[in-house]
């Protein structure tokens, strides 16, 4: 018999502290399951009514590469036994593959960057013109903006991979992706946070052009001080400008609807979806995050504590398992 209401699967404890604190304050009977060092047996049975996956594809940048396959194996095992896993194996597989996200956007008719996956630059060369240059090289299994490079030519791609073979990690599959011109400081990007298919809040993220836009206050503190993050920001010319996260109140209805369709297509229960508006009038969606690092000050600007909203939602989902 289950003796817990909830088990949270996690890899990054600092990211999850606000959630753990909110669950404890609410009196939810939960356990935190650390994916960095664990075992699974075919004799194990579910310990809770509900599981909540908070694993991150970026675990490898923190030296926790093995947390990802264990998380996926554990979720598939739990689901095979009939347990309910929020942001379960379907959502996690979707988050782990930016190629799968691009394919979904093709199927849904959502504008997105042209993307080619490759495992050998020699194979990529004849098709690189489909994307054009400048372009981005990034991991298919991304996260926190890690190992993303702007490149100007196919020769630069080959040289990058010759000098930095570690870029192939963790899964030896890379993307050449269309580079989208935009003003990262003025226009920034828009991140939509969804819970259960409904928009929780939106925020505008402004940066100096770096790729690490993680909204966690651990990575980007509210006071503008240096965060504690394994992903080092990309070097930029001139003085560095802090990345800022601002509440965004007037989200176009069509952007919310496109985000919702993508969210539901990927099987997500909670997550963040990012898009940007280009100077030539395109609205381009480019990233889906199932491990959604909510930012409390942004939620409070919208009139609520986002972690309290997450616990409200989790309590409703727990209640469904008791029916």
Render pLDDT for 123-177 as a digit per residue (tens, 0 to 9): 999 999 999 999 999 999 977 778 899 999 999 999 999 999 999 988 999 999 9
Q: Are the C-beta atoms of 91 and 271 separated by less than 8 Å?
A: yes
DSSP letter at 322 equals T
* Position 99 in a domain: no
- Helix (H) / strand (E) element for 50: namely strand 48-53
Per-residue confidence at 309, pLDDT binned at 50, 70, 90? Answer: very high
237 has pLDDT over 50: no
- Look at residue 19 and give its three-state secondary structure: helix
pLDDT given for residue 236 in this prediction: 45
* Position 320 in a domain: no
Q: Are residues 226 and 161 in the same domain?
A: no
Q: Provide the residue range defining the domain that includes 233.
A: 183-313
Q: Are residues 124 and 81 in the same domain?
A: no
Q: Are residues 301 and 216 in the same domain?
A: yes
Burial class of 89 by CB neighbour count within 10 A (0 to 12, 13 to 18, 19+) = buried
11 has pLDDT over 60: yes
7 has pLDDT over 70: yes
- Which residues, in sequence order, are CB contacts of 9 under 8 Å at separation 6+? 33, 35, 51, 52, 53, 54, 55, 71, 74, 75
* Position 102 in a domain: no
* Position 322 in a domain: no
pLDDT given for residue 233 in this prediction: 47
Q: Are residues 135 and 195 in the same domain?
A: no
Q: Are residues 128 and 79 in the same domain?
A: no
Q: Are residues 171 and 133 in the same domain?
A: yes
Per-residue confidence at 222, pLDDT binned at 50, 70, 90? Answer: confident
The residue from 49, 72, 87 where one domain ends is 87
* Position 128 in a domain: yes
267 has pLDDT over 70: yes
Phi, psi of 244 (to 5 degrees): -120, 150
- Domain containing residue 296: CATH number: 3.30.470.20
* Position 148 in a domain: yes
- Domain containing residue 133: CATH number: 3.30.1490.20
240 has pLDDT over 70: no
Q: Are residues 199 and 292 in the same domain?
A: yes
Give percent above pLDDT 70 in the chain.
93
Query: How many residues are there in the chain?
Result: 323
For residue 64, the tally of other CB atoms under 10 A from its CB is 20
* Position 96 in a domain: no
pLDDT given for residue 162 in this prediction: 97
Q: Are residues 36 and 156 in the same domain?
A: no
Question: Total domain count for the chain?
Answer: 3
* Position 234 in a domain: yes
The residue from 130, 159, 178 where one domain ends is 178
Q: How far apart are CA 253 and CA 95, in angstroms?
A: 24
Q: Are residues 307 and 221 in the same domain?
A: yes
230 has pLDDT over 80: no
Mean pLDDT (the chain) is 92
Q: Are residues 136 and 233 in the same domain?
A: no
Q: Are residues 174 and 207 in the same domain?
A: no
More confident residue, 206 or 230: 206
Q: Are residues 199 and 305 in the same domain?
A: yes
Burial class of 258 by CB neighbour count within 10 A (0 to 12, 13 to 18, 19+) = buried
The residue from 48, 68, 87 where one domain ends is 87
């Amino acid at each position: 018999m289950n003796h817990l209401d909830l088990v949270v699967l996690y890899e990054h404890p600092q990211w999850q502290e606000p959630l753990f604190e909110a669950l404890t304050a609410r009196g939810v009977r939960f356990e935190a399951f650390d994916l960095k060092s664990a075992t699974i047996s075919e004799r194990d049975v579910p310990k809770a009514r509900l599981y909540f996956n908070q694993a991150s594809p970026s675990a490898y940048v923190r030296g926790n590469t093995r947390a990802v396959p264990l998380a996926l194996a554990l979720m598939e095992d739990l689901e095979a036994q009939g347990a309910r896993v929020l942001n379960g194996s379907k959502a996690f597989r979707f988050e782990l593959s930016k190629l799968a996200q691009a394919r979904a956007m093709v199927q849904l008719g959502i504008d997105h960057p042209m993307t080619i996956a490759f495992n050998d630059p020699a194979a990529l060369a004849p098709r690189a013109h489909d994307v054009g240059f400048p372009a981005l090289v990034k991991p298919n299994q991304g996260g926190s903006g890690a190992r993303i490079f702007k490149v100007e030519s196919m020769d630069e791609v080959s040289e990058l991979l010759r000098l930095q073979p570690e870029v192939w990690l963790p899964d030896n599959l890379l993307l050449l992706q269309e580079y989208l011109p935009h003003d990262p400081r003025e226009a920034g990007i828009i991140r939509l946070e969804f819970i259960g298919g409904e928009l929780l809040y939106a925020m505008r993220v402004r940066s100096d052009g770096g790729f690490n836009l993680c909204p966690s206050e651990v990575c980007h503190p509210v006071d503008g001080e240096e965060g504690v993050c394994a992903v080092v920001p990309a070097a930029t010319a001139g003085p560095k400008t802090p990345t800022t996260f601002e509440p965004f109140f007037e989200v176009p209805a069509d952007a919310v609807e496109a985000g919702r369709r993508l969210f539901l297509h990927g099987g997500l229960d909670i997550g963040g979806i990012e898009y940007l508006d280009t100077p030539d009038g395109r609205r381009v969606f480019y990233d889906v995050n199932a491990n959604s690092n909510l930012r409390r000050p942004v939620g409070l600007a919208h009139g609520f504590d986002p972690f309290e909203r997450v616990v409200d939602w989790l309590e409703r989902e727990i209640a469904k398992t008791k029916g």
